[in-house]
Structures are given as structure tokens and as C-alpha cells.
Structure 1
Amino acid sequence: MQLNPYLFFNGQCQSAFQFYEQCLGGKVETIMPYEGSPMEDQVPPEWRNKVMHAELTVNNRVLMGSDGMPGEYEVPKGFSVSLNMDDPAKAEQIFQALAENGTVSMPIQETFWAIRFGMVTDQFSIPWLINCDKPA
């Protein structure tokens, strides 16, 4: 079994996944537009070039997403995508990249459990937790 986050966007999925590819050092494996799919007739013509399904692989983990159906998008709430890493410098770097044009809820800093921990909502309205545990 695999458990994969699936994110919904309001028309910016392709831009978001290209940004995540660069920011997280992953690889976009799939960008599938509505156009040419069985869903093509269920979206307005101006939405056909939007993303029906996308996949990004980062360290053998998969992040998936799409541009939700027009008029059905809601700003994400009640969850965060959590990134756990071993390198505090890399944690800082990724946090700063995600924070650009986003909103920082908790600046990245040392906590009682982590060398670095921070909370940010990126420019695409996706909430992230960046964590770098203290050595055991």
C-alpha cells in the first residue's frame, strides 16, 4: 500500500508542480491535461489545457495533484504536507523557497524536538511543515 498526498489547485497545478520540482529537487513524471482525455467535454474550453492529473517524485515518494473542476475549488485547510529531512541547511533552503510569495505561520527555528521546524503556506495556497529532527 502507498499513501500519497493529492493536492487540488485553481488552475495553477502545472506551475506549482514545476516549482515543487525545482524547490524539492524532484522530477515531474506526469502532467496530463484535460484535453485529449475522457474528461475533456466536462470542462469549459478555456480549462482544457489545465491539469487533470500530475505526479512528482521526490526520493521515491510521490506527490500528486490536479486543477480541480472549475467552480469547485476550495482553499486547502485542515492539513499540511510534511517534509522531514536530515540536513538543517536543506530544511532552511526549502522553507525559504516555499515562503517566497507565500505566508509564514511559524518561522523556521529550533524547537525542543527539532534542529529546524517551520510552517508555511506557499504561493499556491498549500500548507507545509518543514522538520529536521534533532539527533537521537
Structure 2
Amino acid sequence: MSSKIESYLFFDGRAEEAAEFYKTALGAQVQGLMRFKDAPPGAGEGCTPAAQNGDKVMHMALKIGDTIVMASDGECKGQTDFKGFSLAYNAVDAAEVDRTMQALSQGGKVMMPADKTFFSERFGMVVDKFGITWMVLVYKA
């Protein structure tokens, strides 16, 4: 097995809501979900305030296409703060870019409408309702 980098997102108490959103918007599949109450006794003590709420998500893995995005409820303060990065969604064609942009913009905001660029047949940017910036494009290597 080779090394790889995977994203780990902290939804601050909204991880299950995010999973449902990405199931609809991106066809995500929950590959695993562990709640704080599922941890062995004492394992969550002192970790985060979320450990006090056993039903919150300690860890989950979302499969989106061929990629795994891991996530948690984190500290459950209700304020996600995703800054300094974007997730890129590589669509198969221009029509998928448009569908994906539309789906991700529900409750969010289109930052750059999808259009043809010098590097992509179709490229756009959207911030979803959780504050994650997505670059949606047809990428040709």
C-alpha cells in the first residue's frame, strides 16, 4: 500500500447533517461512523466537549467517488471555520460540473460561476452551507 493524503474535516456538531448533504449533492457513501458513545469507557474523556454528547460523531469516513473524506463533530460549538483550503471535485464532463455546482450551492454561495477556462472545459467555485470552498472542474492531465 502506498502513502496518501486524505482530508479530515471538523463540522463542529454538524457532521451527520454534512453526511446527508454530501450523499445528495455528491453521491457520498458513509463507509464508517463511530459515535463518542461507541468508544471504550474513558477513551473520550478530556478529548473534546463532544465526548459529553455520546450521539455526536467521533469519526466517520465518506467515500466520494474514489476519494475518502474523513470527518468528525469536533468540539460541537456549531461554528464551522474552514479557511485556507479548498476541496477540488474533478467532474467527468461539463454537465456534471453544472449539476455539482448547483447541488453544492444549496444553502451556500456560488463564488465563481462555471465557465470555460484556459485550463478546463468547465470550472467554477462554490462555498457550501458548511463553509467549505469547492473548486468544481473537468480536469484533463
TM category (shorter chain) comes to 0.7 to 0.9
Unaligned runs of 5+ in 1: none
TM-aligned CA deviation for residue 22 of structure 1? 2.3
Report the Cα distance in structure 2 between the residues aligned to 1:62 and 1:68, rounded to whole angstroms. 18
Residue aligning to 1:22: 24
Structure 2 partner of 1:104:
110
Query: Which moves more between the two structures, 108-117 or 71-80?
Result: 71-80
Contact 2:80–2:131 (8 Å) recurs in 1 = no
Amino acid at match of 1:132: V
Tell me the equivalent position of 2:44.
39
Asked whether the equivalents of residues 14 and 76 of structure 2 are also in contact (C-alpha less than 8 Å), the reply is no
Instruction: Indicate if the aligned counterparts of 2:30 and 2:63 stay in contact, CA closer than 8 A.
Output: yes
Provide the rounded CA distance (Å) in 1 between the counterparts of 2:99 and 2:78: 33
Given candidates 3, 6, 15, the residue that maps to 1:13 is 15
**Residue identity in the other structure for 2:22:** Y
For each residue in 1:72-129, what CA deviation from the matched residue of structure 2 results, as whole angstroms up to 9, or x when unmatched? 9651100001111221111110110000110211111111211211111101111111
Q: Which runs of 5+ in 2 are unaligned?
A: none
C-alpha distance 41-48 of structure 1, shift in aligned 2 (>3 A): farther
1:50 equivalenced with 2:56 (yes/no): yes
Q: TM-score, normalised by structure 1?
A: 0.86
Between the aligned residues of both structures, percent identity stands at 36
**Shift of residue 36, structure 1, vs aligned partner:** 2.6
Q: Is residue 93 of structure 1 aligned with residue 99 of structure 2?
A: yes
Report whether the alignment pairs 1:2 with 2:4. yes
Asked if structure 2 preserves the Cα contact closer than 8 Å seen for 1:6 and 1:64, the reply is yes
- For residues 109 and 78 of structure 2, what CA distance do their matches in structure 1 show? 23
Distance in structure 2 (CA, Å) of the matches to 1:31 and 1:45: 15
| Letter of the 2:126 counterpart | V
Q: TM-score, normalised by structure 2?
A: 0.83
Structure 1 vs Structure 2 CA RMSD: 2.3
Between stretches 16-25 and 94-103, larger displacement belongs to: 16-25
Q: Structure 1: how far apart are the matches of 2:54 and 2:45?
A: 6
